[in-house]
Amino acid sequence: MSTTATEPAEGPSKVDLGAQGGGTGEIPSFDVTLKVRRYLPETSEDAYWDEWTVTMYGTDRVLDALHKVKWDIDGTLSFRRSCAHGVCGSDAMRINGRNRLACKTLLKDLDLSKPILVEPIKGLPVEKDLIVDMDPFFQSYREIMPFLINKGPEPTKERLQSAEERERFDDTTKCILCAACTSSCPVFWTDGQYFGPAAIVNAHRFIFDSRDDAGDMRLEILNDKEGVWRCRTTFNCSEACPRGIQVTKAIAEVKQAVLAGSF
């Protein structure tokens, strides 16, 4: 196993899985050191690092290592996860310094010569270990009215839309509300009033939907000093998104729409 000092979190695999045919070959196993930022308000006011070494397999993800610790070693370790397959968006956490979904980060893609650092996402109050209070995040999401508003008469069948019209906002329909983008944003860390990338992405999804009539209202909400103009284009959100949404691009499009609408 080769070791490079600064390898990106999802760099190329460094574990030789070997040539396995027919699915009968043994899956290689390796030792992984997990270093987790813990916070247990019942016992201590301070957060601290806890470390475990566990034997994992080439097919395992960071979430599997966390499960192994919680189920076999220390049951007090707390984290959120629901579907465990990258759809529900519950297990966003900071893995080796970057926001990732634990269920989509394969151990073999990480540099295993060093401990894997796991921390809660930043900018939201930590409740316990890797669990943060998501209320401020969802409050911003609610404020941009993430639902279809159509003032026309109720149709008797589906609202038709051309493929091109659907394509216009396709990228921002992929959001799973995991908060990886919003909690990677340096502006959000210091200014909790900022709507944050996720809320703007979900506003974008309706602003550019041809069936929706409330685009102007949403643009007005986001044309605010805590709205799109707070964005400083650090691109942390685009790099953090587990669904590959081009978040900064979506925010830029909303900025342009605000300007186009106000003149």
Interface with another protein by CB under 8 A: which residues? Answer: 9, 30-31, 33, 35, 37, 46-49, 51, 53, 94, 96-98, 112-115, 117, 119, 122, 184, 186, 232-236, 238-239, 246, 248-249, 252, 255-256, 259
Tally Cβ neighbours within 10 Å of residue 84: 17
- Give me the least distance between CB of 31 and another protein, in Å please: 5
Instruction: Decide: residue 135, CB within 10 A, 0-12 exposed, 13-18 middle, 19+ buried.
Output: exposed
- Give me the least distance between CB of 233 and another protein, in Å please: 5
**Smaller CB separation from another protein, 162 or 190:** 190
Calpha distance 224→227 (Å, rounded): 5
Angle (deg, nearest 10), helices 197-207 and 215-222: 160
Identify whether the C-beta of residue 1 lies closer than 8 Å to the C-beta of residue 14. yes
**Smaller CB separation from another protein, 97 or 152:** 97
**Smaller CB separation from another protein, 9 or 134:** 9
- Give me the least distance between CB of 39 and another protein, in Å please: 10
Cα end-to-end span (Å), the chain? 59
**Smaller CB separation from another protein, 98 or 211:** 98
Which amino acid, one-letter code, is at 165?
E
- Give me the least distance between CB of 49 and another protein, in Å please: 5
**Smaller CB separation from another protein, 38 or 214:** 38
- Give me the least distance between CB of 22 and another protein, in Å please: 30
Q: How far is CA 189 from CA 11, 34, 121, 183, in A?
A: 27, 25, 10, 7
Query: How many helices and strands, by DSSP H and E, does the chain display?
Result: 8, 7
**Smaller CB separation from another protein, 214 or 254:** 254
- Give me the least distance between CB of 37 and another protein, in Å please: 6
**Smaller CB separation from another protein, 47 or 149:** 47
Instruction: Decide: residue 140, CB within 10 A, 0-12 exposed, 13-18 middle, 19+ buried.
Output: buried
- Give me the least distance between CB of 156 and another protein, in Å please: 39
DSSP H stretches of helix in the chain: 62-68, 135-143, 163-168, 186-190, 197-207, 215-222, 236-240, 247-262
Q: Strand 126-128 and strand 48-57: pairing? A: unpaired
